[in-house]
Structure 1
Amino acid sequence: MSPDQKLEEIFRLTPYQKAALHKLGLQTARNLLYHFPFRFENQAPAVKITNLKKGDNALVYGVIHKLKTQKAFYKKIPMAEGWLEDETGKIKVIWFNQPYLAKMLSEGVPVMAEGKVTERKGQLYIANPQVERVASLPIGNTEGELWKSEDQNENGFPENRLRPFYPESRGITSNWFYFAIAKILRSGAQNDLEDPIPKNITEKYKLPCLKTALVWIHNPKNENDAVAARKRFAFEEVFFIQLQKQIARREYEANPSFRIEVDEKLVKSFLQRFPFAPTNAQMRAMAAILEDFKKGKPMMRLLEGDVGSGKTFVAAATAYAAIETPPVGNKFARLQVALMAPTEILAKQHFESFIENFSHMRVSIGLITSGGCQKFPSKTNPKGATDISRAQLLRRVKDGQVSIVIGTHSLIQKTVEFKNLAYAVVDEQHRFGVKQRAALVARGSTQINTRMDTDEKRAQINTDTIPQIHADASANQSGKIIDSLLFRDLTYIIRGAAFEVQNQLGNGHKELVYQNALAEEFQKRKINFSREKQVPVNYNGKKVGQYQPDFIVDNKILLEVKALPYTGQREKRQFWNYLKGSEYQLAILVNFGTPKVEIIRIVNEHPRISADNPRQSAPVAPHLLSMTATPIPRTLALTVFGDLDLTLLDEMPPGRKQIITKIVAPKERSQTYEEVRREIKNGRQVYVVCPRIDEPDPEKEMALDVKSVKEETERLRKEIFPEFVIEMLHGKMKTDERDKVMGEFKKGKINILVATSVIEVGVNVPNATTIVIEGAERFGLSQLHQLRGRVLRSTHQSYCYVFTSSANQISTKRLRALGKTSNGFELAEYDLKFRGAGDLSGLHQWGISDIAMEALQNLKMVEAARAEAQEIIEKDPELIAHPALKSRLANQNGTIHLE
């Protein structure tokens, strides 16, 4: 049996079973081996057939005879039946509604059967037993080979084993999975699977190999086997997630970015305009971001901060630094910043916040949403914004006239083009992944400007002759300009590596020796390179062949290694011919045959633009900052955001009062409503959040949420607060309706706003100081903490009333933790520990499996998987030396969607 053999070729499947397997994504024997049990139960002690009694849940060893299918004796449902026999007697075995077992089981072979002993008309039978084939019967039986192994007890029976139970679907049972997987394991199909985890890693962390782990997880002899197997597969899942993340990071960083060297005085002057001083955590975050700006590769950073910790201020300050500082190499360029929010409400809030921050400066800010566009400043009101048509605003953004553009994900649509997008901030958005980053790069500049000064003329290239070619040590004036402009830093690193190789090896070796040594040196210096990539050779716009250079360095430079006593025009011309027909701009020829290593740069001023491969036409990737107020446990952050550098805002601005959180039982509701009434009479406003309704269908879930909001609004208006103005906010309202309600709430015209958890993200109304959360047991602690954060926007005392109808002690204990701590990250860790990884918000939508979630409770495992993935990608970025890893990743890309 082959691991890739279709299940329908191995088993006779009913239409219901085919549908169930398709729903579970199980098509091949390989898929079935990776369908793991979710729990195990100890098997009952084995007994002889002669000792069986009605009502026993018995385990019996014997031989199956006379298997057949027929209709049940009382309901005419299909069933399989046969006889189980040992040396003391025999008993009938019946499987109701499972006639296929008569064909799956073999007669005359030793088996172990477990099930409940039932009686009908004075005859005992075992109903729906689980049956497993065994190598032989225990000592004392007359059938099969008599032997005693170390797994048998003193009575001759095998020691108790664990019975697996599998996730089911309509039409297919755990029992079917048990038999089907046992058949595959008996065939030895698992022996044909190549272990994707390198052997040195499994040995280092004492993990079982793939073949052993598959047997142990489906047929463990004891609990230790099951635990070891689950540990191995948990590590495997997290390891592959980390590999995907490291590859994604490497691909994004392969794009050039604007190098921005910010003057500290510029940032200080911006900060001094505000009546408050940034926290130490904010200063550290800004310093880390500005340091990333200086690098020649795009920043990829996650800024985590509790509600109210000042993430937006960090984004505003660094955005100002970006737009006020010309990039290295082009002192006349004006850079642009994009800020993306998950909702229009939050986008408009950011727009208003940025206007407040930049109102004293001549900074152009645009807002793009599906509900309309605005720009700041207005011609008629320099301190305010004005409406503008979408076409006009998009034209200004493309021309570079708008410095900061704020919106939802509409900013990465094809209709939006930037002139010099240097910095992108993504707020509260977990699904901003590889595809979105690619779209972001596509929205920016198409070619990075590498000239030191736009007024200086660079050497022109005549494609009929050899271009300006210059040795590194003796370039002319024109050559110096080129040398100092095009990938200067990377060239210096390559030079250093080449000199080190010659110092170590000297002259006289073959080119392959120098190539291998140079590859080792590149790895030491953490230079990205490929030795396998081929470059198309084109003639009259058509591909006529392909050329494979010795190295492609950082996807920017073609590099050839020679060991010749003299580098002549023929070698240079040949290399130039390859370069001029490619998308690359720079080639370097390194000759180790001369007494002192010779390094020759060949520059192509007019590289061929490839629409199919935008990266090779040198698009500029913006520096990327993701911000989140969602408290994320460290293990989850390292997994889901494994491709981002983490920065934590762990301080709150001074002067804010601690929120008072109360857990409210049903009998205490009346008193709480009076406290809420008192707050409203004191001029404050209130949020009421309706319980989240879990429903697999998003449309049905939203409909139920809306119904919940409407019902609660009517109840509060009629029964509790008839004297106050109460309005509602939910996801099915039109944009202009939502805007109107939020506008009136901000102006204080609405006393109580009844909403779904749509207010969880970012809504800022400082006068709202009280929040009432209905059905709190349906929310995770992190969500409750974020909701509570909506009333932490001012210096007034704030209150959070958590309504619960649950008498469950665990639920009550969890909610009390909310009242004891105001630290969101502590609450997230608490949720992970006591409620389980599966209950953390968003894990399943991120594509993380149940078994990988177990790893999230083991920080050492996650850190180890991350470290191993980083090391592999650094040393072998294209996984040439790890074909099993490469194959597994290719097959897995469609199932994991961490974006």
Structure 2
Amino acid sequence: MQSVAVLAGVGKKRQQALAELGIESIESLLTYYPFRYEDVQQRQLAEIQDQEKVTLKGTVVSPAVMSRFGYKKTRLQFRMMQDRDVFQVSFFNQPYLKDKIILSEEIVVYGKWDAKRKALTGMKIFGSGKQDSFAPVYHVSKKIRQATLQDLIKQAFAQFGEQIEEILPVQLVDKYRLMERKQAIYAMHFPDDMDTYRQAKRRVVFEEFFLFQMKLQGLKQAEKAEVNGLCLSYDAKQLKAFIQKLPFELTDAQKRVTNEICADLKSPKHMQRLLQGDVGSGKTIVAAIALYATITAGFQGALMVPTEILAQQHMESFVSLFAAMDVTVALLTGSTKTKERKHILAGIKDGSIDILIGTHALIQEDVDFAQLGLVITDEQHRFGVNQRKVLREKGWKPDVLFMTATPIPRTLAITAYGEMDVSLIDELPKGRIPIETRWVRPPQLDTVLHWAKKELAKGHQMYVICPLIEESEMLDVQNAQKIYEELKEFFEPINAVGLLHGKMKPSEKEQVMEQFKENQTQILVSTTVIEVGVNVPNATLMIIIDADRFGLAQLHQLRGRVGRGVSASYCILVANPKNEVGKERMKVMTETTNGFVVSERDLALRGPGEIFGQRQSGLPEFLIADIVEHATVLEVAKQEAESIWQQKDWKLLPAFHALASYLANARKENVFFD
């Protein structure tokens, strides 16, 4: 459809103001839906409550008087009478309304009622004619008012409404008794009643999810059709021997996902798999097995992780695991010294290094692999889409395995990773005792610290996580420093206290972590740099200060740093939440240690965008659909999209012409395709 500039009243300034709202075309204007509706049904004074938003009809019984106060602030006041009741009406900073308030004439005003003052703080004035019972409310700006936007939408419908075509196949419209597209878009803005609006919204939600799933399933089909990927014919005997030499037996879940990954490696089709597993479920060993299989097939493997501490830890684990095998492992991070870096780059290029572990340093231009067969990214939501893509392009279509210990609710997995196959490690290694989580208020911290002394006396270790202050990393460090000094005074000389924070040099962090691992320090005061992957089995106690400042997923990740050995472990949340959401988070943490339950609740409390961060995760921004509220619709849309893509040459069938055409245009305009 055409630009909004074709509408009357849209000059360059207004066009720019609309563009700031994301409205550039007639189509984006028509699908700029209200985010809520206000009940504007006319009411009687006798039936309304204090502080209620209401619409009142009455007669103007005093002239409108405008006064100025503060900087550029105005107050418009007049009196209205409904039946025999007279009340005051005030409008703030809307001086242009004065001409609409005419003495002795009827007026309809929407606003907030103050019962004590018998006064209405006005928000808008309606005409005195037939009044709708509810009104749409749009996200607008100072440059575009609600009324202006509504007028433009009405004008767009009058001129272009007939051009709105049905996209969904008729069979789906009939099957789910959906409103037609043109009717639904109109009813989203100008519904006759709430039932009409609900039907329109139902249609729009399904359409949004369905079109998105058509795109995702298309990507998945394209990946599967790619038969000229790498076929890693690994040595099954060598792989079995490696697994048998492990110092522990794999869990059933680890065996299952290992088989799924190995089947992908052997297949000539390109692997794109997401490996999900809760904190401590043993994803690292699965990654090691997959990498060893890759090496026996004559290829190299790469493992990219978000932090240097985690890269160092994986390096130590892999060196230990492959000690008896003919496998060369190297570590490349931002702090790798120049001479060592040159040596590593040469080894990757000539193929003498089998596995390269590192941070985003792996994706720098001069990192060239001889024959890259498998790329694994750990905690992959921490990397931008482009960073992951660059690593994949380091070889010729290497197989790709994404790993995450942030359990992703099914609804999120369907949207963010719908084009991938998903493997799930849904059990913890044998002998793990569930972590006991308790929530205490700040005044009880002293009691907790005295109890901690007894726990440390048993030879165990403790993390103390400092409050997160989003505004300033510098303040985070000051906080950590302050708590470190206080705990030194309380615990030393019996127990040594260490300090770890984000402003330290990598070498300093490494030294502090090494001292904690070796039990030279028994207490580690830290900011959230220890959140992912740090493994000290002797640490059985974690205290999180101001725990209500953290999201549920992050609290769960932090908690996962303890409970990694055979002793009972505890996580103490010190918090005084100011609102119900904060209290709910604390309750969830004390009620369950299941990461998937935690993530479902986190999703419900915070919404999808905040869990990964919208830009990093590649989560779609739906106009109306909500993946939490409308999870069932999302499932249905996915099934229908899969069903269509399974039909051979579906795009050539008459029933799907409009859908195929719409998706082709969307791809050209980058509306649905990255």
The aligned residue for residue 274 of structure 2 is: 302
**Is residue 686–residue 771 contact of structure 1 (8 Å, CA) maintained in 2?**
yes
Cα distance per residue 1:721-754 (max 9 Å; x no partner): 6754333322232222222222222222222222
The aligned residue for residue 663 of structure 1 is: 439
Matched residues in 1 for 2:543 and 2:392: separation? 43
**Is residue 771–residue 800 contact of structure 1 (8 Å, CA) maintained in 2?**
yes
1:187 and 1:752, CA in 2 relative to 1: closer, same or farther beyond 3 A?
Answer: same
**Is residue 235–residue 852 contact of structure 1 (8 Å, CA) maintained in 2?**
no
Matched residues in 2 for 1:102 and 1:245: separation? 54
2:455 to 668, 679, 698: 679
Looking at secondary structure, tell me which structure has more helix per residue: 2
Aligned residues: 652
The aligned residue for residue 779 of structure 1 is: 550
The aligned residue for residue 344 of structure 1 is: 308
Give the CA RMSD over aligned residues.
Answer: 4.4
The aligned residue for residue 507 of structure 1 is: none
1:677 and 1:186, CA in 2 relative to 1: closer, same or farther beyond 3 A?
Answer: same
DSSP 3-state at the match of 1:854: coil
Matched residues in 1 for 2:83 and 2:447: separation? 74
Cα distance per residue 1:315-339 (max 9 Å; x no partner): 11121112112xxxxxxxx211111
1:842 to 609, 612, 617: 612
DSSP 3-state at the match of 1:265: helix
Matched residues in 2 for 1:356 and 1:38: separation? 56
* TM-score between both structures, scaled by the size of structure 2: 0.83
1:18 and 1:431, CA in 2 relative to 1: closer, same or farther beyond 3 A?
Answer: same
1:686 and 1:228, CA in 2 relative to 1: closer, same or farther beyond 3 A?
Answer: farther
Matching residue's letter, 1:692: L
**Is residue 773–residue 801 contact of structure 1 (8 Å, CA) maintained in 2?**
yes
Matched residues in 2 for 1:80 and 1:29: separation? 36
Matched residues in 1 for 2:170 and 2:96: separation? 40
Matched residues in 2 for 1:95 and 1:276: separation? 73
Matched residues in 1 for 2:230 and 2:221: separation? 17
Matched residues in 2 for 1:852 and 1:819: separation? 34
**Could you tell me how far 1:840 is from its partner in structure 2?**
5.7
- Equivalent residues in 2 for 1:344-363, closer than 5 Å: 344-363=308-327
**Is residue 112–residue 121 contact of structure 2 (8 Å, CA) maintained in 1?**
yes
**Is residue 230–residue 851 contact of structure 1 (8 Å, CA) maintained in 2?**
no
1:441 and 1:306, CA in 2 relative to 1: closer, same or farther beyond 3 A?
Answer: closer
**Is residue 635–residue 857 contact of structure 1 (8 Å, CA) maintained in 2?**
no
- Equivalent residues in 2 for 1:452-463, closer than 5 Å: none
Matching residue's letter, 1:337: G
- Equivalent residues in 2 for 1:480-629, closer than 5 Å: 620-629=396-405
The aligned residue for residue 353 of structure 2 is: 402
- Equivalent residues in 2 for 1:721-736, closer than 5 Å: 724-736=495-507
1:820 and 1:298, CA in 2 relative to 1: closer, same or farther beyond 3 A?
Answer: same
Matching residue's letter, 1:399: D
**Is residue 300–residue 623 contact of structure 1 (8 Å, CA) maintained in 2?**
yes
**Is residue 80–residue 100 contact of structure 1 (8 Å, CA) maintained in 2?**
no
1:251 and 1:388, CA in 2 relative to 1: closer, same or farther beyond 3 A?
Answer: farther
- Equivalent residues in 2 for 1:656-805, closer than 5 Å: 656-693=432-469, 695=470, 700-718=471-489, 724-805=495-576
1:200 and 1:180, CA in 2 relative to 1: closer, same or farther beyond 3 A?
Answer: farther
1:852 and 1:61, CA in 2 relative to 1: closer, same or farther beyond 3 A?
Answer: closer
Matched residues in 1 for 2:216 and 2:209: separation? 10
Matched residues in 2 for 1:877 and 1:438: separation? 29
**Could you tell me how far 1:194 is from its partner in structure 2?**
4.3
Matching residue's letter, 1:357: L
Matching residue's letter, 1:295: S
Q: Which runs of 5+ in 2 are unaligned?
A: none
DSSP 3-state at the match of 1:430: helix
Matched residues in 2 for 1:248 and 1:434: separation? 15
Cα distance per residue 1:348-384 (max 9 Å; x no partner): 11111111110001111121111116xxxxxxxxxxx
1:852 and 1:437, CA in 2 relative to 1: closer, same or farther beyond 3 A?
Answer: farther
Matched residues in 1 for 2:216 and 2:369: separation? 27
Matched residues in 2 for 1:831 and 1:308: separation? 20
* TM-score between both structures, scaled by the size of structure 1: 0.64
Matched residues in 2 for 1:438 and 1:670: separation? 49
**Is residue 498–residue 524 contact of structure 2 (8 Å, CA) maintained in 1?**
yes
Asked if 1:130 is matched to 2:124, the reply is: yes
Matching residue's letter, 1:817: V
The aligned residue for residue 242 of structure 2 is: 270
**Is residue 29–residue 153 contact of structure 2 (8 Å, CA) maintained in 1?**
no
**Is residue 196–residue 888 contact of structure 1 (8 Å, CA) maintained in 2?**
no
DSSP 3-state at the match of 1:727: strand
**Is residue 201–residue 624 contact of structure 2 (8 Å, CA) maintained in 1?**
no
1:57 and 1:242, CA in 2 relative to 1: closer, same or farther beyond 3 A?
Answer: closer
Matched residues in 2 for 1:26 and 1:239: separation? 23
The aligned residue for residue 640 of structure 1 is: 416
**Is residue 782–residue 828 contact of structure 1 (8 Å, CA) maintained in 2?**
yes
Asked if 1:182 is matched to 2:153, the reply is: no
**Is residue 329–residue 353 contact of structure 2 (8 Å, CA) maintained in 1?**
yes
DSSP 3-state at the match of 2:418: coil
The aligned residue for residue 392 of structure 1 is: 343
Asked if 1:280 is matched to 2:252, the reply is: yes
Matched residues in 2 for 1:842 and 1:103: separation? 50
Matched residues in 1 for 2:99 and 2:293: separation? 74
1:41 to 38, 42, 47: 38
Asked if 1:435 is matched to 2:431, the reply is: no
**Is residue 666–residue 803 contact of structure 1 (8 Å, CA) maintained in 2?**
yes
Q: Which moved more, 1:388-397 or 1:786-795?
A: 388-397
**Could you tell me how far 1:248 is from its partner in structure 2?**
4.1
Matched residues in 1 for 2:94 and 2:30: separation? 22
The aligned residue for residue 217 of structure 1 is: 188
DSSP 3-state at the match of 1:366: strand
Matched residues in 1 for 2:273 and 2:579: separation? 40
The aligned residue for residue 93 of structure 2 is: 97
DSSP 3-state at the match of 1:443: coil
DSSP 3-state at the match of 2:540: strand
**Could you tell me how far 1:114 is from its partner in structure 2?**
2.3
Matched residues in 2 for 1:353 and 1:131: separation? 69
1:46 and 1:857, CA in 2 relative to 1: closer, same or farther beyond 3 A?
Answer: closer
1:55 and 1:284, CA in 2 relative to 1: closer, same or farther beyond 3 A?
Answer: closer
Q: Which moved more, 1:772-781 or 1:840-849?
A: 840-849
Q: Which runs of 5+ in 1 are unaligned?
A: 119-123, 139-156, 326-333, 374-386, 445-619
1:185 and 1:261, CA in 2 relative to 1: closer, same or farther beyond 3 A?
Answer: same
DSSP 3-state at the match of 1:691: coil
1:249 and 1:87, CA in 2 relative to 1: closer, same or farther beyond 3 A?
Answer: same
